[in-house]
Amino acid sequence: MTELTFPAVLRRGLPRARYIALAVRLAAAAAIAIYALTTPGFLTLLSANALFTAISFVGCVAVGMTFITLTGNIMSLAIGATVSASALIFLACLSLGILPAILVALLFGVVITGAQGFLVGHLRANPILVSVAALSLLLGGAAFVTGGHHIYPSGAGLEIFKDRFAGIPIDAWCFFTTVAVGQFILSWTRIGRLMTMVGSNVRAATAAGVSTTATVTAAYVIAGACASISGILLAARYGSGDMEIGVGYDYTAIAAVLVGGTGIAGGSGSTLRTLVGVIVISVIEVVLLLRGFSEQLQYLITGLLVLCVIMLHTLGERR
């Protein structure tokens, strides 16, 4: 009898295990939300602004990483270094003007990451190994070119990045735009669909005539562009750069991607989910800080909660 009380759509669309997983997920989300909202200071404009700025940089990277994960290639460990290198290139090219500098930095991220995608897609090389090689290349190359020094802006014009639009920092706007464009690519373009197919099952995609090389390369190109956007934003905001500003962004990004619910196995995911993942992790971090937990506890609790969320997702997928 109780079954009849469920809405018919839900009953048909969701087997029991998934229904339970969904319920647990909603309950968890509600718990986090309530805990956050009752934290003194959380619901202030001050906090919201600080949050939005903070999530923008790693958020852009996470959007890009979504594409790599979605095509079944887990993650790239070179993305953090790509963020740093893009920042350096942007600052070094600023003397050419702000737009050319942005374009050169974007091109760099696209080429260096797209090349990884080509190797992964064409040779079916292990994506982690390829990204480790790219990481060494980036670090070595940067050390060679800059001698490890800080890079400072070679031109002016960075002030526009400190502006706000409708009360929200430019960095946050860039992030939200990246999310929207990413989602548009996934839902409304052919290449987006092909990425889902390749990520879902490479062999089936090949048999269906999909060019895995082109598709995987495209995913990495997007990831590279996103990493460059993050690098440009960082460089513009802090007016200097070195190879360490992007350190760890790859790991934070993949955590956000997984917390958002994009499957590590590939074939399903969206940048909107990643947006949720980024916000969830940041909210957890912020709330723990606002409530005055010690650093050690902050790390511990954040790690545990991230783990729990990811486990909840796998629970929902298994049948």
Partner 1 sequence: MPVLAIDGVTKRFGPNAVLKDVSLALDAHEVRAVCGENGAGKSTLVKVITGLYAPDEGAVCVDGTPVVITSPQHAQELGIALVAQELSLAPALSVLDNIWLGNRKVPLLHRRQELRARARAALDKLGLNDLALDTPASALSIGRRQLVEIARMLTRDARVFILDEPTATLSDVEIERIFAALRALKAEGKSVIYITHRLGEVFEICDSVSVLRNGDLVGTRRTNEIDRGTLMQMMLGRSLGEMYPAWESSPGDPMLMVKDLHVPPLVRGFDLTAERGTVTCLAGQVGSGAITVLRALAGLTPGASGEASISGKPMRLRTVARAQAADVKFISEDRAGEGIFLRLTVGQNLIATKLKDHTAFGLLARRGLRATAASLAAAVGVDRKRLHSPADELSGGNQQKLAFGRWIGGDRPGVLLMNEPTRGVDVGARAEIYRLIRQFCDRGYCVVMASSDIEEVLGMADVVVSMYRGRQVARYRRGETDMQRILADITHPAAA
Partner 2 sequence: MRRMIGLLALLLLALPAGGRAEASPQGKRILVLATSNSNPYIGAWTSTFARLATAAGMQVTNLSANYDAAVQSQQLDDGLAQKYDMIVLCYVNDQAVVPALTRAKAAGIPIILFATPMEKEREDLWTSYIGTENADLGRLAGEELVKGLAAEGKTSAKVVAVTGSTQQINVKARMDAFKAVLAQHPGIALVDTEDGKWNTAVSEKVTGQLLVRFSGQGGIDGIFDMADNQATGSINAVESAGVPLGVANKGIVVVGSNCMKDGIVHIRSGEQYGTATQIPTEEATFAAKRVTAYFNGDKLKKYEIIPVYGITKDNVDQFAAGCSY
> Could you say whether residue 3 binds partner 2 (CB under 8 A)?
no
169 membership: H or E segment, kind and range: strand 168-169
Whether 247 contacts 84, CB under 8 Å:
yes
Q: With both helix axes pointing from N to C terminus, report the angle between 98-123 and 212-238 in degrees, rounded to the nearest 10.
A: 150
Q: Is 315 in the site for partner 2 (CB under 8 A)?
A: no
> Which tokens hold the place of 78?
């070179």
Among partner 1, partner 2, none, residue 200 binds (CB under 5-8 Å by kind): partner 1
Q: Is 281 in the site for partner 2 (CB under 8 A)?
A: no
Nearer to partner 1, 46 or 207 (CB): 207
Q: Which is nearer to partner 1, 165 or 188 (CB)?
A: 188
Site string for partner 2, 121-140 (x = CB under 8 A): ---------------x--x-
145 binds partner 2 (CB under 8 A): no
Under the criterion CB under 8 A, does residue 312 sit at the interface with partner 2? no
Cα–Cα distance for residue pair 127/205, rounded to 1 Å: 18
**CA–CA separation, 78 vs 151, rounded Å?**
20
Min dist CB 217 to partner 2, Å, is 27
User: Residue 222 or residue 245: which is nearer to partner 2 going by CB?
Assistant: 245
Which residues are bridge partners to 165 per DSSP? Answer: 168
Piece of 14-22, 146-154, 191-199, 216-224 that binds partner 2 (CB under 8 A): 146-154
Choose between 15 and 148: whose C-beta lies nearer to partner 2: 148
Identify whether the C-beta of residue 240 lies closer than 8 Å to the C-beta of residue 151: yes
286 is a contact residue toward partner 2 (CB under 8 A): yes
Burial pattern 141-167, b for ≥16 Cβ within 10 A else e, equals ebeeebeeeebebeeeebeebeeeeee
Q: Tell me, what DSSP letter sits at residue 96? A: G
238 lies in the site for partner 2, by CB under 8 A: yes
Asked if 318 and 66 touch (Cβ cutoff 8 Å), the reply is no
Kindly state whether residue 247 participates in binding partner 2, applying the rule CB under 8 A: yes
Distance CA 238, CA 20 (A): 46
Contact status, residue 248 vs residue 51, Cβ threshold 8 Å:
no
C-beta separation of 179 from 275 below 8 A: yes
Among positions 47-76, residues that touch partner 2 (CB under 8 A) are 47, 49-51, 53-54, 57-58
Nearer to partner 1, 110 or 138 (CB): 110
* Binding positions for partner 1, rule: CB under 8 A: 13, 188-191, 193-194, 196-197, 200-201, 203-209, 211, 267-268
Tell the smallest beta-carbon distance from residue 269 to partner 1 (Å).
Answer: 12
Contact 169, 52 (CB under 8 A): yes
**Which partner in partner 2, partner 1, none is near 267 (CB below 5 to 8 A by kind)?**
partner 1
If the CB atoms of residues 12 and 294 are measured against partner 1, the closer one turns out to be: 12
Q: What value does the CA radius of gyration of the chain take, rounded to a whole number of Å?
A: 20
